[in-house]
Amino acid sequence: MDNKGKKRFDQGKKSGRPSNDRSPNGRAMNGRNNGGAPANNRSSFGRSSNGRPSNNRPQVDRPREDDAFAEEGSTDKLEGRNAVTEALAAGRDFNKIWILKPDGDKPLDHGLIRILDEANKRGIIVTRATRQVLDKMSSTHNHQGVIASVAPHSYADLDEIIAKCREEGRPALLVALDEIKDAYNLGSILRISDCCGVDGVIIPERRSVGLDSMVAKASAGAIEYVPVARVTNLAQTLTRLKEKENFWVCGTDMNADYEYHDADYSGNLVVIIGSEGDGMRDGVRKCCDFTVSIPMTGHVNSLNAAVAAGVVLFEAQAKRHKDQ
């Protein structure tokens, strides 16, 4: 351990946490910033005033291809080849899969054939559907010829995520998302987190997008491998992680303590990514031990939340790997 590391950990022995020095030059820090039933629309047979049969024929309810998504307990939907393939590989419970029926005599392409073969091996119900049917069922408008009805995605327990890292004898790396509302951003952050070896992602229950079909599609299957914990109060959760689990909390902010490449990302760490428009809320910002920014020289002064997460997390992963 170098002099900087010795100084930081020696100072923290009395409190049980490392010292507050996260600077590249060993400068001491404060440790905190700023202090009923549907209507029956059927019409009856009858005759018009001229004695001829009426054109009002009774409307007969017919089952639709997407009825499975209206059934209780079958509310989750996956769309796209990567999302469905990774869910099959991860052992997710499937109710049914709809696969494109090509027009005319066109053969099914290899990607869909692999999904069909795996579904048949597992005994999953498969329905061949026309492109028009899949288009009507699709929420993402990019189904790539396959849609699946699956059991609702379950959220992870944060304490179990931390316990797993402790049992493996290594520091945990978590990502906390402060009111991310865009499904594409959440899905992309899950994909980045999987690539960076993040142990878990924390999202708040309110004012935040949950794990839905659009998130699954954007994550390219990473949703099956990155645990996501949902908490009632993000600020309280961060405080508990700091005080009881010896975590450092790193926030991302334009007016930050350090540029992202100068920060110390060692130890148990939570990286906070703020919302798309407003960044971190004040209550969450006060939980930060230090903040980092990404220097920019162009005309646009902000980054997409997922892009910012990628820049910081890949830097953190590189430094943590070097320290091992």
The answer to whether residues 163 and 141 belong to one domain is no
The answer to whether residues 140 and 159 belong to one domain is no
The answer to whether residues 231 and 90 belong to one domain is no
Q: What is the pLDDT of residue 45?
A: 35
Q: What is the pLDDT of residue 300?
A: 76
Give the relative orientation of helices 81-89 and 110-122 as an angle to the nearest 10 degrees: 30
CATH number of the domain residue 75 falls in: 3.30.1330.30
Q: What is the pLDDT of residue 75?
A: 54
Q: What is the pLDDT of residue 61?
A: 41
| Mean pLDDT value of segment 76-102 | 87
Q: What is the pLDDT of residue 142?
A: 85
Q: What is the pLDDT of residue 27?
A: 38
Query: How far lies 323's CA from each of 57, 196, 242, 267, 311, in Å?
Result: 76, 15, 22, 10, 19
**HSE-CB of 283 using CA atoms within 13 angstroms:** 9
Of 150, 178, 207, the residue at which a domain comes to its end is: 150
The answer to whether residues 306 and 175 belong to one domain is yes
Which residues are CB-neighbours of 60 under 8 A, at least 6 positions away? Answer: none
The answer to whether residues 282 and 146 belong to one domain is no
Q: Which of 74-88, 156-170, 248-262, 266-280 has the lowest mean pLDDT?
A: 74-88
Cβ 101 vs Cβ 130: under 8 Å: yes
Q: How many domains are there within the chain? A: 2
pLDDT band at 324 (very low <50, low <70, confident <90, very high): low
* Alpha-carbon gap, residue 311 to 273, rounded angstroms: 11
Q: What is the pLDDT of residue 92?
A: 82
The answer to whether residues 279 and 159 belong to one domain is yes
Of 100, 128, 150, the residue at which a domain comes to its end is: 150
| Mean pLDDT value of segment 177-187 | 91
pLDDT band at 38 (very low <50, low <70, confident <90, very high): very low
Of 150, 183, 212, the residue at which a domain comes to its end is: 150
The answer to whether residues 162 and 298 belong to one domain is yes
The answer to whether residues 89 and 232 belong to one domain is no
Q: Which of 18-22, 159-163, 206-210, 283-287 has the lowest mean pLDDT?
A: 18-22
The answer to whether residues 184 and 310 belong to one domain is yes
Q: Which of 182-186, 265-269, 308-312, 319-323 has the lowest mean pLDDT?
A: 319-323
Structure tokens at 186: 């959440």
Top-confidence residue, 315 or 9: 315
Output the average pLDDT for the chain: 80
pLDDT band at 20 (very low <50, low <70, confident <90, very high): low
pLDDT tens digits for 143-163? 889 999 887 778 999 999 999
pLDDT(66) > 50: no
pLDDT band at 87 (very low <50, low <70, confident <90, very high): confident
Q: What is the pLDDT of residue 160?
A: 96
The answer to whether residues 144 and 169 belong to one domain is no
pTM for this entry: 0.66
Q: What is the pLDDT of residue 164?
A: 96
The answer to whether residues 86 and 99 belong to one domain is yes
Any domain includes 114: yes
What is the CB neighbour count within 10 angstroms for residue 307? 15
Distance of CA 179 to the CA centre of its chain: 12
pLDDT band at 228 (very low <50, low <70, confident <90, very high): very high
pLDDT band at 32 (very low <50, low <70, confident <90, very high): very low
pLDDT(234) > 80: yes
pLDDT(233) > 60: yes
**Residues of the domain holding 90:** 67-150
Q: What is the pLDDT of residue 11?
A: 44
- Of 221, 252, 264, 234, nearest to 158 by C-alpha is 234
Give the relative orientation of helices 183-196 and 305-323 as an angle to the nearest 10 degrees: 10
Give the 3-state secondary structure of residue 269. Answer: strand
| Mean pLDDT value of segment 210-224 | 85
